[in-house]
Structure 1
Amino acid sequence: MSAAVLRVGVTGAGGFIGSNLMLALSERGVEAVGIPHKADDAQLSDLFSGVDLVVHLAGVNRPADPAEFWSGNVVFTQRIVDALAGQGRIVPLVLASSIQAARDTPYGRSKRDAEDIVRAYGLRTGAPVHVLRLPNVFGKWCRPDYNSVVATFCHNIARGLPVRIDDPAAEIGLLYIDDLIDAFVSIATSGQSAAPGPVHRITIGSLADQIRAFRDSRTSLVTAPVGSGLVRALHATYLSYVPPQNFAYPLRAHEDQRGLFAEFLKTGDSGQVSVFTALPGVTRGGHYHHSKTEKFLVVQGQARFRFRHMVSGETHALETSSDQLQVVETVPGWSHDVTNIGPDQLIVVLWANELFDPARPDTIAAPLR
Structure 2
Amino acid sequence: MKKIGITGQKGFVGSHLYNTLGLFPEEFERVDFQKEFFEDNDKLDEFIKKCDIIVHLAAMNRHDSEQMIYETNIALCNKLVTSLERTNSKAHVLISSSTQEERDNLYGKSKREGREAIVNWANENSGKVTGLIIPNVFGAFGKPFYNSFIATFCYQLTHGEMPTIANDGEVKLIYVQELVMKIINEIQSEKSQPELFIEPTSTKKVSEVLALLNDYKTKYFDNGEIPVLNDKFEHNLFNTYRSYMDYKTHFPVKFTQHTDPRGAFVEVIRLGIGGQCSFSTTVPEITRGNHYHTRKIERFAVIKGKALIQLRKINTDEVLDFYLDGVEPAYVDMPIWYTHNIKNVGNEDLYTIFWIDEPFNPEDADTYFETV
Instruction: Please state which band the TM-score falls in when normalised by the shorter chain.
Output: 0.5 to 0.7
Q: Does the CA contact (< 8 Å) of 2:49 and 2:89 recur in 1?
A: no
**Bigger radius of gyration:** 1
Deviation at 1:45, TM superposition (A): 1.4
Deviation at 1:269, TM superposition (A): 6.9
Q: Does the CA contact (< 8 Å) of 1:265 and 1:273 recur in 2?
A: no
**For 1:264, what is the secondary structure of its paired residue?**
coil
Which stretch of the first structure deviates more once superposed, 227-236 or 186-195? 186-195
1:161/1:10 CA distance change after superposition, 3 Å: same
Give the fraction of aligned pairs with identical amino acids, expressed as a percent: 26
- Aligned equivalent of 2:212, options 207, 210, 213: 210
- Partner in structure 1 of residue 19 of structure 2: 23
Question: Structure 1: which amino acid aligns with 2:4?
Answer: V
Q: In 2, Cα distance between the equivalents of 1:233 and 1:223?
A: 13
Deviations 1:244-275 (A, max 9, x none): 22133233232211122233333447699899
Q: In 2, Cα distance between the equivalents of 1:271 and 1:73?
A: 45
Structure 1 residue 243 corresponds to structure 2 residue 246 = yes
Q: Does the CA contact (< 8 Å) of 1:45 and 1:87 recur in 2?
A: yes
**For 2:269, what is the secondary structure of its paired residue?**
strand
Residue pairs, 1:175-214, within 5 angstroms: 175-191=174-190, 195-196=197-198, 198-214=200-216
Residue pairs, 1:284-299, within 5 angstroms: none
TM-score, scaled to structure 2: 0.67
Residue pairs, 1:317-328, within 5 angstroms: none
Q: In 2, Cα distance between the equivalents of 1:43 and 1:58?
A: 16
1:170/1:64 CA distance change after superposition, 3 Å: closer
Q: How many residues align?
A: 279
Question: Structure 2: which amino acid aligns with 1:18?
Answer: G
Deviation at 1:35, TM superposition (A): 4.6
Structure 1 residue 14 corresponds to structure 2 residue 25 = no
Structure 1 residue 41 corresponds to structure 2 residue 37 = no
Structure 1 residue 224 corresponds to structure 2 residue 220 = no
1:23/1:271 CA distance change after superposition, 3 Å: closer
Structure 1 residue 234 corresponds to structure 2 residue 237 = yes
Question: Structure 1: which amino acid aligns with 2:70?
Answer: W
- Aligned equivalent of 1:252, options 251, 256, 276: 256
Q: In 2, Cα distance between the equivalents of 1:272 and 1:21?
A: 29
Give the aligned CA root-mean-square deviation in angstroms.
Answer: 3.2
Q: Does the CA contact (< 8 Å) of 2:139 and 2:240 recur in 1?
A: yes
Question: Structure 1: which amino acid aligns with 2:18?
Answer: M
Q: Does the CA contact (< 8 Å) of 1:12 and 1:58 recur in 2?
A: yes
Residue ranges of structure 1 left out of the alignment (5+ in a row): 276-298, 301-343, 352-369
Q: In 2, Cα distance between the equivalents of 1:274 and 1:47?
A: 47
Question: Structure 2: which amino acid aligns with 1:7?
Answer: K
Deviation at 1:150, TM superposition (A): 0.8
TM-score, scaled to structure 1: 0.67
- Partner in structure 1 of residue 58 of structure 2: 58
> Following TM superposition, where does structure 1 have runs of at least 4 consecutive aligned residues deviating by more than 6 angstroms?
271-275
Which stretch of the first structure deviates more once superposed, 230-239 or 156-165? 156-165
- Partner in structure 2 of residue 171 of structure 1: 170
Deviation at 1:227, TM superposition (A): 7.7
1:94/1:261 CA distance change after superposition, 3 Å: same
Question: Structure 2: which amino acid aligns with 1:19?
Answer: S
Q: In 2, Cα distance between the equivalents of 1:47 and 1:348?
A: 48
Q: In 1, Cα distance between the equivalents of 2:273 and 2:71?
A: 53
Q: Does the CA contact (< 8 Å) of 1:264 and 1:273 recur in 2?
A: no
Deviation at 1:90, TM superposition (A): 1.6
Q: Which has the higher contact order (CA 8 A, sep 6+)?
A: 2
Deviation at 1:100, TM superposition (A): 0.9
Residue pairs, 1:277-288, within 5 angstroms: none
**For 1:201, what is the secondary structure of its paired residue?**
strand
- Partner in structure 1 of residue 308 of structure 2: none
Q: In 2, Cα distance between the equivalents of 1:31 and 1:129?
A: 19
- Partner in structure 2 of residue 357 of structure 1: none
Residue pairs, 1:57-136, within 5 angstroms: 57-136=57-136
Deviations 1:140-198 (A, max 9, x none): 2211112311111111111221112234x422122111011112222334425775454
Q: In 1, Cα distance between the equivalents of 2:93 and 2:255?
A: 51
Q: In 2, Cα distance between the equivalents of 1:259 and 1:132?
A: 61
Q: In 1, Cα distance between the equivalents of 2:170 and 2:81?
A: 36
**For 2:160, what is the secondary structure of its paired residue?**
coil
